Amino acid sequence: MFSREEGVVAALSARLRQLQATEHQKLGFPGWSTPLPAELLPFFDFELNNYGDPYIDPVFGWHTKDLERELVEALADLFGAPVGDRWGYVTTGGSEGNVYGLWLGRTLYRDAIVYHSDAAHGSVAKNAEVIDRRAVIVGTDDRGEMDYDALRRALSANRHRSAIIVATIGTTMTEAVDDVVEIRRAVRDAGVESCYIHADAALSGLPLAVLTEGPAFGLHTVDSLSFSGHKFLGAAIPCGVVITRGSYRQRVRETISYTGSPDPTLGSSRSGHTALVLWHRLRTLGLSGLRQMAEYTRDLATYAERELRTLGWDAWRAHPYACTVVLKSPPQPVLDRWPLATVNGISHIVCTPGVTRERLDRFVSDLAASLTPAAAHATAA
């Protein structure tokens, strides 16, 4: 490991070749990457540290907080955050956004119980532990959407305690969308007085926000919202954004730091490069570019679902705007060629903006080939 440079170049090029080869198998997970634009490359020669609060510049100049603020403000507009009462920052990903939402909820309501569905991302249960709150798991329907009657019953059983509820906007396995209006109704019916709602919109937040139709949600109905930058947007480095109310940010205990910025974030030293990449992505795509991407992924998923059904293979989507197609797990030889997220005999393919129709066609024809009697015989043998 600590030998000098010999072999490093060879090791890197072997790794690169392997990456280039596996790129064409990407179909089963929500991440993808766009090439880094050449004009951004020189910035990676420099330290960029957005330490602490993006709204307050440090005493030093090596940061991108001005771009981060522009990004957060544009997204706050897009998600309908109240003007004059918004705040947010670039995180390390959807999971940090989730723990931030839970932490804010607990800061506002110290006695709160966390409620999330059994289709919520694994980081939610883990983060309930991190903030040392009891988590109540609520069931879901057969598409993965929260069962609001079950939520109402769970809330009623604890009506004297505050609630932190995580609504998943696009569940990991089926991309089902929890309905925040129904959640609010359950809270009201149960007589719970204090409630904080965090929307985990890791994958679907952006596409649903830019499409002109589809399930509605936004920061006018939730207290915080987070999404991932390496999913729909295709940042090559894991990252994300969390947005909440400016008034909540004031409630977080913050350390005054020697950098000149107070620090209400979880990361403290935060990447200025991911803020730069996300800012560049939004600036160059614009709203129309984002909308085109969202339409592309929705249409590709519609196509994929139809192709699989034509083949006689079980396939469905949680709603007509989802880019995730849920399917009966393909035979093992197909899974060996196409790594797919698979749970209990169910798999999914995620039509990210990086997936081409040609790639989908190859997957479907591999699946078709595996269903011929000869292939079935080979598998059995």
Ligand X SMILES: *Cc1c(COP(=O)(O)O)cnc(C)c1O
Binding interface with ligand X (CB under 6 A): 30, 93-95, 121, 123, 168, 170-172, 200, 202-203, 228, 238, 240
Nearer to ligand X, 136 or 202 (CB): 202
Nearer to ligand X, 154 or 350 (CB): 350
Nearer to ligand X, 170 or 264 (CB): 170
CB of 30 to ligand X, least distance (A): 6
CB of 189 to ligand X, least distance (A): 26
CB of 97 to ligand X, least distance (A): 8
Nearer to ligand X, 301 or 364 (CB): 301
Nearer to ligand X, 293 or 334 (CB): 293
Q: Are strands 342-343 and 346-350 parallel, antiparallel or unpaired?
A: antiparallel
CB of 256 to ligand X, least distance (A): 29
CB of 179 to ligand X, least distance (A): 16
Q: Are strands 240-244 and 224-228 parallel, antiparallel or unpaired?
A: antiparallel
CB of 173 to ligand X, least distance (A): 9
Nearer to ligand X, 94 or 214 (CB): 94
CB of 264 to ligand X, least distance (A): 20
3-state SS string over the chain?
A: CCCCCCCHHHHHHHHHHHHHHHHCCCCECCCCCCCCCHHHHHHHHCCCECCCCCCCCCCCCCCCHHHHHHHHHHHHHHCCCCCCCCEEEEECCHHHHHHHHHHHHHHHCCCCEEEEECCCCHHHHHHHHHCCCCEEEECECCCCCECHHHHHHHHHHCCCCCEEEEEEECCCCCCCECCHHHHHHHHHHHCCCCEEEEEECCCCHHHHHHCCCCCCCCCCCCCEEEEECCCCCCCCCCCEEEEECHHHHCCCCCEECCCCCEECCCCCCCEHHHHHHHHHHHHHHHHHHHHHHHHHHHHHHHHHHHHHHHCCCCEECCCCCCCEEEEECCCHHHHHHCCECEECCEEEEECCCCCCHHHHHHHHHHHHHHCCHHHHHHHHC
Nearer to ligand X, 96 or 307 (CB): 96
CB of 331 to ligand X, least distance (A): 26
* CB atoms inside a 10 Å sphere around CB 186: 27
Residue nearest ligand X, CB atom distance: 94
Contact (Cβ atoms closer than 8 angstroms) between residue 211 and residue 296: no
CB of 336 to ligand X, least distance (A): 24
Nearer to ligand X, 58 or 101 (CB): 101
Nearer to ligand X, 121 or 245 (CB): 121
Tokens 């994958």, residue? Answer: 203
